[in-house]
């Protein structure tokens, strides 16, 4: 199930959005201001964000810029009040994927969110992270130009990590994404693959930190 983060300070609208998306089969996190949105983002990785611009503690655009500066490519749809074209332009330049002006039609909102999520599933051909280059098509990772000779699982795990730098990823999620099935109860596969990968990353400037009971974080050293 996909998770959406809705950031909106008009309570009725926020509630309507939540009900609508839940009815459409999404898990919805809601935030009435930037502080609440940041709290959600510290512990969750929503699949897309629906972001109001004018919020009581700042501009949605500030949050968007923060995300992009940290390298997060979570799709963001901006909701903006009618008559503020400058916000739209600034928003798209700051890395928003789409926008909609209020008042909006729910069917259009849903279609736009679906389109963003489809776009997000397209995997890039190459991912560059500092001294690392992941060639997604060849399944090859170069560290300062030299092939790291990763196994298929190590590569899949590193790709997932590199797209979620700085975020905690649970062992369950890692297993599902890398092995393509639910995590078996007694599996050490995530732990051992992550630790082999950590050793191979020693010279890369990045590491994989295990958080007891929480998951794993890929971060620069």
Q: In the complex with Ca ion, which residue's Cβ is closer, 9 or 165?
A: 9
- Cα gap 50→104, rounded to integer Å: 13
The one segment of 5-13, 26-34, 85-93, 137-145 that binds Ca ion by CB under 5 A: 5-13
Q: Which two tokens stand for residue 176?
A: 């599902």
CB of 98 to Ca ion, least distance (A): 18
**Identified binder of Ca ion from the candidate list 32, 52, 98, 154, rule CB under 5 A:** 52
Instruction: Return the SS3 of 32.
Output: coil
Q: In the complex with Ca ion, which residue's Cβ is closer, 15 or 188?
A: 15
Strand partners, 80: 101
**Identified binder of Ca ion from the candidate list 33, 36, 54, 62, rule CB under 5 A:** 54
Which single residue brings its beta carbon nearest to Ca ion? 54
Q: Does 13 bind Ca ion (CB under 5 A)?
A: no
DSSP class of 137: T
**Identified binder of Ca ion from the candidate list 2, 3, 9, 127, rule CB under 5 A:** 9
Q: In the complex with Ca ion, which residue's Cβ is closer, 30 or 163?
A: 30
The conformational region for residue 88 under phi > 0 = left, psi -120 to 50 = alpha, else beta, is alpha
Is 3:25 a contact under the CB 8 Å cutoff? Answer: no
Q: In the complex with Ca ion, which residue's Cβ is closer, 54 or 110?
A: 54
| Nearest-5° Cα angle at 56, 28 to 24 | 15
Q: In the complex with Ca ion, which residue's Cβ is closer, 47 or 52?
A: 52
Instruction: Return the SS3 of 211.
Output: strand
Q: Which chain residues interact with Ca ion by CB under 5 A?
A: 9, 52, 54
């Amino acid at each position: 199930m996909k998770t959406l983060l809705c950031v909106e300070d008009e309570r009725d609208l926020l509630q309507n959005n939540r009900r609508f998306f839940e009815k459409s089969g999404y898990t919805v996190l809601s935030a009435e201001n930037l502080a609440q949105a940041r709290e959600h983002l510290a512990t969750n990785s929503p699949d897309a964000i629906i972001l109001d611009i004018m919020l009581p503690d700042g501009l949605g655009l500030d949050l968007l810029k923060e995300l992009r500066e940290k390298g997060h490519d979570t799709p963001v749809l901006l909701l903006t009040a009618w008559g503020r074209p400058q916000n739209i332009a600034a928003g798209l330049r700051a890395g928003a994927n789409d926008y909609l002006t209020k008042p909006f039609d729910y069917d259009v909102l849903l279609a736009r969110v679906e389109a963003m999520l489809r776009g997000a599933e397209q995997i890039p051909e190459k991912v560059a992270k500092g001294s690392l280059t992941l060639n997604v098509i060849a399944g090859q990772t170069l560290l300062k130009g030299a092939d790291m000779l990763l196994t298929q699982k190590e590569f899949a795990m590193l790709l997932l990590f590199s797209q979620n730098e700085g975020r905690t990823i649970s062992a369950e999620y890692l297993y599902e994404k890398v092995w393509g099935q639910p995590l078996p109860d007694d599996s050490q596969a995530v732990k051992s693959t992550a630790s082999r990968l950590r050793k191979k990353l020693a010279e890369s400037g990045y590491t994989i930190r295990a958080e007891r009971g929480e998951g794993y974080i890929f971060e620069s050293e």
